[in-house]
Amino acid sequence: METIRGIVPPYLLRHIAGLEEDRFATAAEAARRALSERPVHGGHAHPSVRPPVVDAELRRKVHDAENGTDLPGRLVRGEGDPATGDVAADEAYDGFGATDALFRQQYGRTSMDDAGLTLLGTVHYGVAYDNAFWDGTQMVFGDGDGEIFGRFTASLSVIGHELTHGLIEYTAGLVYRDQSGALNESIADVFGALVEQHAAGQTADEASWLIGVGLFTDEVEGEALRSMAAPGTAYDDDVLGKDPQPGHMDDFVETTQDNGGVHLNSGIPNKAFHLVATELGGHAWEVAGRIWYETLLGDLSPRATFEQFAQATVAVAENHDAADVVRGAWQAVGVWTNSTSPSSSSG
């Protein structure tokens, strides 16, 4: 089966799984299950073998796993159906719509595959399941353990993030390991943030640039899972520890865990995008987001390094009068120095 791309990094789940305090007993057990459980599919073809859809209207299907692990589960809401009254199911349905709206309205894309792919989701997966993920076929949402994490449909940036993993599969196909994997995670954060900003009509300066707001319970001293504006500051908690994301190449993490640190080192390109968006101002999806989107559609190696991706974004930015801004952002996070960055041009 496909690699599960979960919103909660494995290093954080491992930390929670090792907690010995009685007040986090449920969370510890839930984290252990999240690290070990694998979903069972029934009735879904892999996206690569689905027939093309001629009618490219938005299609959504939300299922209920009823705390089991068989996917997709019982269908509870299809496209155009009224709200179910189940908060998680309705949040997933609305989040799919908000994600589709960004890509359809701003970039002319019809679903993640640009051919009307039905957006599939399953809520109430597992028992107190501590994650949400895209598994190569659909979105899956846990309810959280209630001690550290609440329900995973509560954050629109999470829904946008995970569906963007599907978009990446259909475009650049970035390998989920090392720097290309960190780019995969970062791009998912970029568009997760933009989905949230687009839905709220926020400018770059108004946005929080936080990924996963609303996931933590009140027991946790933290705002979100990650901060694009200031990587490493999303949480600082006596139990969970401090957010370990770097925001500069000087602090790049060399590790074999988490597919080579994909959830850690994604903070570096995240910060680069934030710098571009805030320097350009206005709505971040209009220019900064379009540059990143068009880069995904270009001739990008599936194993692209940060430097290769940076070069590709600068080349695209030339067409948007933003090359100098993009170049400067990558310099600011240490991907290039003044002496190694591509020469300035008319951008």
CATH 3.20.20.100 fits 5-170, yes or no: no
Q: Which residues contact 339 (CB under 8 A, 6 or more apart)?
A: none
Which pLDDT belongs to residue 32?
A: 94
What tokens were used for 204? Answer: 């770059």
Is residue 196 part of the annotated active site? The answer reads no
Which residues, 6 or more positions from 45, have their beta carbon under 8 angstroms from its beta carbon?
none
List the domain boundaries for the chain: 5-170, 178-332
Distance (Å, whole) CA 237 – CA 240: 5
Place of tokens 């089966």: 1
- Can you tell me the distance from the alpha carbon of 226 to that of 111, in angstroms, rounded to the nearest whole number? 26
What count of residues does the chain have? 347
In the three-class reduction of DSSP (H, G, I as helix; E, B as strand; rest coil), residue 228 is classed as coil
Contact predicate 40/65, CB 8 Å: no
Residue 2 DSSP one-character state: P
Quote the distance between the C-alpha of residue 259 and its chain's center. 16
By three-state DSSP, how is residue 150 classified? coil
* Structure-block tokens of residue 153: 């449909």
Residue with structure tokens 């080579």? Answer: 260
> 178-332: CATH homologous superfamily?
Neutral Protease Domain 2 (1.10.390.10)
Catalytically annotated residue among 124, 263, 274, 283: 263
Residue that the structure tokens 């694009």 belong to: 228
Tell how strand 132-134 and strand 139-141 pair up: antiparallel
Which H helix or E strand runs over 139?
A: strand 139-141
What are the two backbone dihedrals, phi and then psi, of residue 234, each rounded to the nearest 5 degrees? -70, -30
Which letter, b or e, does each residue of 106-122 get, where b requires 16 or more Cβ atoms within 10 Å of its Cβ?
bbebbbbbbebbbbbbb
Q: pLDDT value at position 48?
A: 44
Concerning whether 263 is annotated as a catalytic residue, the answer is yes
Count the neighbouring beta carbons within 10 Å of the beta carbon of residue 25.
13
Which amino acid is it at 136?
G
State the 10-residue block means of pLDDT for the chain, 347 residues long: 75 95 94 83 46 71 97 97 98 98 97 95 97 93 97 97 96 97 98 98 98 96 97 96 97 96 98 98 98 97 98 98 98 84 52
pTM for this entry: 0.94
Angle of helix 288-297 versus helix 178-200 axis, rounded to 10: 140
Distances from the Cα of 37 to the Cα of 40, 53, 143, 171, 325, angstroms? 10, 33, 15, 29, 44
Query: From the CB of residue 40, how many other CB atoms can be counted at a distance below 10 Å?
Result: 10
CA-CA distances (angstroms) from residue 81 to 77, 236, 282, 304?
A: 6, 41, 35, 42
**Whole-angstrom distance, CA of residue 168 vs CA of residue 56:** 19
The single residue of 162, 169, 185, 196 carrying the catalytic annotation is: 162
Q: In this predicted structure, what is the pLDDT of residue 317?
A: 98
**Predicted local distance difference test score (pLDDT) of residue 36:** 87
